[in-house]
Structure 1
Amino acid sequence: MLTSLKHRLLTAASAAALLGALLTFGSAPAADAAVPATIPLKITNSSGRGDPVYVYTLGTSLTTGQQGWADASGVFHAWPAGGNPPIPAPDASIPGPAAGQSKTVRIPKLSGRIYFSYGQKLDFRLTTGGLVQPAVQNPSDPNRNILFNWSEYTLNDSGLWLNSTQVDMFSAPYAVGVQRADGSVSTTGRLKPGGYTGVFNALRAQPGGWGGLVQTRSDGTVLRALSPLYGVETGALPASVMNDYIDRVWQKYATTTLTVTPFGDQPDTKYFGRVSGGVMTFTNGSGAVVTSFQKPDASSVFGCHRLLDAPNDQVRGPISRTLCAGFNRSTLLTNPNQPDTSSANFYQDAVTNHYARIVHDRTADGKAYAFAFDDVGHHESLVHDGNPQQAYLTLDPLT
C-alpha cells in the first residue's frame, strides 16, 4: 500500500523528530555563542548539469510551531491555510546557482528540509493538516519524474545540525558542511568517484529483487532508488526479503539473552531480551519487565516503525533503535551485546539491508543515513556545530 497522506505531512512533531533523534544518544554540546537568527548557506553547483536548479527551505518553527518556508534572505513565511483536496502551495523556490557557480542564501532557525531540483520546480501542496511532501513511491505523485533531493536541518539556539539523507531514497548526490568559529570546515555526504552510478549498478546486480528499487524516467534517465521500506510498501521489493534473518534472530534469542546497552554515556543501563511465545521481552537489571516486541516484518525493520516503534522515551525507544540498527546491519546473530558499533561487522549476512550496505560502501567517509536510526554508533552523515558561521550544500556530479 502506498504511503498515506499522514506520513507525507511535515508537522511540528515530525520536523522536530530529526533533532530529537540526533540527541537520543547524548546531549547537544552547549553553543559557544549566541546563534544568530539566520546563518549563510553557500550552495555550490558542481553537478556539471546545464539545467536550472531550484532550491527550497521548508520547515517548522520550533518556537511557534508554524509551518512555512524561507526566502533567500532567510525571512520565514508561514504557509496559508490548506484545503481538502490539497491546494497548490505558494511558489517558495529560490533560483539556484548555474553549473560551476555558487550562491549564498540565508537559512533561519527552524527544523525542516532544504530541497533542490534540476530542470523543473517541485510541486508542493497544502492540505488542512499542513504541507504535503513529495512521495515519489506513488506513481501519480506530480514530482515522480523530477530529479531532486533534499537535506534535513535543524538550526536553533544550540547550533546547527545538517545531514545528507537517504532514508527515503537515494538520488541526486550532494555534500553538506559547516564552518566553525575557528574557520575549519566539517563536511560529509560526498560519494566516492563513480559512486552515484555505482549504487544503481550494485542494486541491479543484487539478487532478491533489489534492482526493483531503481526508478527511471521514460527517456531512460535514472532518477533515484527508493528506500527498501518504500520498496516493500509498493511491491517493488518482496515483503519476505528479511524473513529468513528475522526468523533466525527469534530462534537464537529463545535460548540466548540479548543484552542492549542503549546509551553510550550510560554503560550501566542495560536491558535483557529473551524470546518466549513468539515475543521478545526485555527486563531491566532488577528483573522487571520494561517492554516487549512482537516478531517484526521487513517493513518494521526497514522503517524502524510499526512492530519496532521507537517512542521518544528513555526505555522502549532506545531499545527499539538498537534492535532496528541490529536488524538492518545484520549484527544481531553475531553479537548478543548490542549495539554493535563496528562497521567492519555490518552487512555481513547474506540477508541484510543491501540498500544501506551499498550506499555506505560508496560514500567517501563511509557515513550515510540509509535508514532511520543509522546514527546508532555514529555512522550517520551529519555535521553539527554549536556556533556555526556558515553552512554548505554542494551539488555533486551524477557519475
Structure 2
Amino acid sequence: MTRRIRKRITAAAAAFATALTGALLAVGAPAPAQAAVPATIPLKITNNSGRSEPVYVYNLGTELSTGRQGWADANGTFHPWPAGGNPPVPAPDAAIPGPAAGRSLTIRIPKFSGRIYFSYGQKLVFKLATGGLVQPAVQNPSDPNRNILFNWSEYTLNDAGLWLNSTQVDMFSAPYAVGVQRADGSTSSTGHLEPGGYNGVFAALRGQSGGWANLIQTRPDGTVLRALSPGHGVGTGALPASVMDDYVNRVWQKYATSTLTVTPFADRPGVKYYGRVSGGVMNFTDGSGAVVTSFQKPDADSIFGCHKLLDAPNDQVRGPISRTLCAGFNRSTLLTNPNQPDSTPAGFYRDPVTNHYARAIHERMADGKAYAFAFDDVGQQESLVHDGNPLQAHLTLDPLD
C-alpha cells in the first residue's frame, strides 16, 4: 500500500477503524454478522469516454490476508508477483481487456488494498525491483508510461467493507467516477467533472501566473495527457520551490501574536490543541499548557505532499494536528479562520497564494469533491464512497471534454 493510500484511509476513515487491519467500524456498533463481506465483489466498469482506443484495466495491490503484493485477474483471483531484479525486470502482464466505448465490463475485486489502473490505446509498463512493484511515475521524463493516457482509482476492500476513491493526489488526467451499490439497492457515486470540466482544469492552470501552467504534460504531438500535482511540480522544477513562501510567512507572523486552535476530531470536540509561533517554531500545547508537538516553518514541498516538515504519523496527536495544518495551508484558510479545520468550502483557495491545482479541480467537480492532495478528506471534501456491505462497485470512464 502506498503512503498516499495509507494517509487517506487514516484521515478519510478516521471515523472508522484502520482499514488495513480489517477492524470493525469504530462509529457505532460492529458490522452485523449477516453483513459479512464476501471474498470478492463485482466491479462494473463502464466506458463513457467516447474514445475508440482499446482500454486496459489492472487491479494491483496487497492481499490483506497475507500481506503479499500482486495482481488480481478478471475473476478476482490473486497472483503474487514473482521476484524482482536490479535493475528492475518486466512484471507479468496483468492487463484485463476493458470495455469498448459505450459498453460495460464486470470484473471481481478481492480483499485488497491497492489500485485499479486503466489506460487508453496502450498497455502500461510495470516492472519489478528487488523491493517490489515499480509503478508509473510520469514526473520522470524517462518513465516508459510518460506518453500513455492513463489514470487510476484507489481502494481497500476488507471485512469492514469497501473504501473506493478517485484521486488526483499525483496527477489530474483521464476523468472517471467511482460508485458503490449498497445492500438496499441504493447507489452512491462521486468523481464526475462538470461538463467541460476536464479541459477547464487545464485552462485554469494555463491562466494562472507563477508557473502553474508548467504542470501540464503533453505528448510530442501536442496531445494533453495530464497535469502533475504541485508536489511533483516542485520536485521536477516545473513549479518554483518558493511558491507558498509568502503565505507561510504571513501565517507564521499572525500566530506569533495570536493562537491557532486545532480541533482535529469531529467526534471529540473537547480535544483541542493551541498553536503559537515562538523562536520561528509553531508549538502546540494541550489544555494543561504542555507542549505536545512542534512544527518548523514548512516549505511548498512539505505542504503539497503533506509530509517532511508536515509529517503526519498515525498517532493521536501530531498526525491529526499535522493533517489539519496541511489542509489549512493547501486551502489557504489559516489566516481567515483561527479555528481549524475549516469545513466551509466557500472560503477555500481564496488567497492569491494557494494550491491552485486543487482549486481548479474542486471548482470543476460536479459535487465539489476531490482528492487533490493527501489530506483533502479533512472537512469531508474527499471523493470517496464507502459501504460496509457492498453489493457492487462501479468505475465509470468519463469523456475528456
Give the TM-score band, short-chain normalised. over 0.9
* TM-score normalised by structure 1 residue count: 0.96
Match of 2:133 in 1: 131
Q: Once the 2 structures are TM-superposed, how far is the Cα of residue 125 of structure 1 from its aligned partner?
A: 0.7
CA distance in 2, matches of 1:343, 1:36: 37
1:22 and 2:24 matched: no
Q: Deviations over 1:244-294 (max 9, x none)?
A: 000000000000011000000000000001001110000100111100000
Report the Cα offset of residue 61 of structure 1: 1.6
Helix, strand or coil for the counterpart of 2:11? helix
Report the CA distance between 1:334 and its aligned residue.
0.5
Q: 1:22-171 maps to which residues of 2 (within 5 A)?
A: 22-27=12-17, 28=25, 30-32=30-32, 33-171=35-173
**1:182-240 Cα distance to aligned partner (Å, 9 max, x none):** 11110000000000000001100011110000000011110000000000000111111
| 1:3 alignment counterpart | none
Displacement after TM superposition at 1:15 (Å)? 5.6
Give matches, 1:191-206, under 5 Å. 191-206=193-208
Offset at residue 343 of structure 1 (A): 0.4
CA distance in 2, matches of 1:297, 1:261: 23
In the alignment, the residues of structure 2 paired with residue 308 and residue 196 of structure 1 have an alpha-carbon distance, to the nearest angstrom, of: 30
Identity %: 79
Distance across 2 between alignment mates of 1:302 and 1:285: 30
* Residue of 266, 269, 274 corresponding to 1:267: 269
Letter aligned with residue 86 of structure 1: P
Residue in 2 aligned with 1:4?
none
SS state at 1:299 partner: helix
Q: How many Å apart are 1:14 and its aligned residue?
A: 6.7
CA distance in 2 between counterparts of 1:116 and 1:169 reads 14
In structure 2, the gaps of 5 or more residues are: 18-24
Matches within 5 A, 1:208-357: 208-357=210-359
The one-letter amino acid paired with 1:357 is R
Alignment correspondent of 1:7: none
SS at match of 2:282: strand
Q: 1:39 to 1:397 in 2, by over 3 A?
A: same
Are the equivalent residues in 1 in contact too, given 2:12–2:380 (CA < 8 A)?
no
Paired residues of 2:8 and 2:375 also in contact (CA < 8 A): no
1:19–1:309 Cα change, 3 Å: same
Instruction: Measure the CA separation in 2 of the matches of 1:193 and 1:327.
Output: 29
Alignment partner, residue 173 of structure 1 = 175
SS at match of 1:116: strand
Query: Are the equivalent residues in 2 in contact too, given 1:16–1:111 (CA < 8 A)?
Result: no
User: What's the CA shift string for 1:95-141, capped at 9, x where partnerless?
Assistant: 00000000000000010000000000000011111111100000000
RMSD: 1.2
Q: Which amino acid aligns with 2:131?
A: G
